[in-house]
Amino acid sequence: QILVLKTDTQDLVASFRVTTGTSNTTAIKSIEFARKGSCFLINTADRIIRVYDGREILTCGRDGEPEPMQKLQDLVNRTPWKKCCFSGDGEYIVAGSARQHALYIWEKSIGNLVKILHGTRGELLLDVAWHPVRPIIASISSGVVSIWAQNQVENWSAFAPDFKELDENVEYEERESEFDIEDEDKSEPEQTGADAAEDEEVDVTSVDPIAAFCSSDEELEDSKALLYLPIAPEVEDPEENPYGPPPDAVQSSLADDGLGSEKKRPSSSDGPQAPKKKPKTTNIELQGVPND
């Protein structure tokens, strides 16, 4: 029978009996708790390792009947177990045989037998322990401690892409120009990508037309033809507005409105007219203009 007591008050919290499928109970040899989680295992005299969840035990209370999470046993040889324990992370269970130096390892979540480790023949197992962090198991027999660990396979090819593993010593043949500062026989590698683009000469004077802004009507035109930009010359202090209506049109419009007699422009008899200023002209000579 398993009793669960509260440590500070020593009160009985839960209890249950370990049965063998019928009403018969079996003797309990040892109890082991996992370092992580709330699971524990019970090694009984019926050669079965039962794994329980501590939270379920507390839920069932006194005289409960909780079901084990896993039942681990050797169905072929019916091996009794000398010592059982959890792995450091609580995901595996190892059990040592009481008949020979053999270790059985199960996966706790699914209950599958993962590995059987055989020690020295003719020696009986006394104790077994699992490392709290690393996947290392220590088993004790008569005067011998066996350390079980994974085989570390060294793969040096992962350190360099051109690394070559050697099974034996190989005599190295030195090249003639291996330790020369400058290899005279070495050919210059062809430049590609960014290195080749740096050596190209960039033309900053010629202007290539952009195809998106060109029309099909401009294909027949001479690319070297002179572009004519119409512009009006600027005249300093113009007397009359060259872009406005003539003076006669202004006078006729004023006469129609009845204002011609009052706002009539003075005639030549009223006084001498101011001399007109000559417009300023500028001669522009264009080079290479075709003669029509």
Q: Which domains does the chain carry?
A: 2-149 (2.130.10.10)
β pairing state of 2-5 and 145-148:
unpaired
Which positions ≥6 away from 277 have C-beta within 8 Å? Answer: 237, 239
Instruction: Evaluate whether 90 touches 108 at the Cβ level (below 8 Å).
Output: yes
- pLDDT tens-place values along the chain, 292 residues long: 889 998 888 889 999 888 887 667 888 899 999 988 889 999 998 899 999 998 998 888 888 888 888 899 988 888 999 999 999 989 999 999 998 899 999 999 898 999 999 988 888 899 999 999 999 999 998 888 999 998 877 776 667 777 777 788 888 888 777 777 776 666 666 666 666 667 778 888 887 777 777 766 666 677 676 666 677 777 676 665 555 555 555 555 555 555 444 444 544 445 556 666 677 777 777 777 666 5
- Scored b (16 or more CB within 10 A) or e, 220-230 reads eeeeeeeeeee
In the DSSP assignment, the letter for residue 51 is E
pTM of structure = 0.51
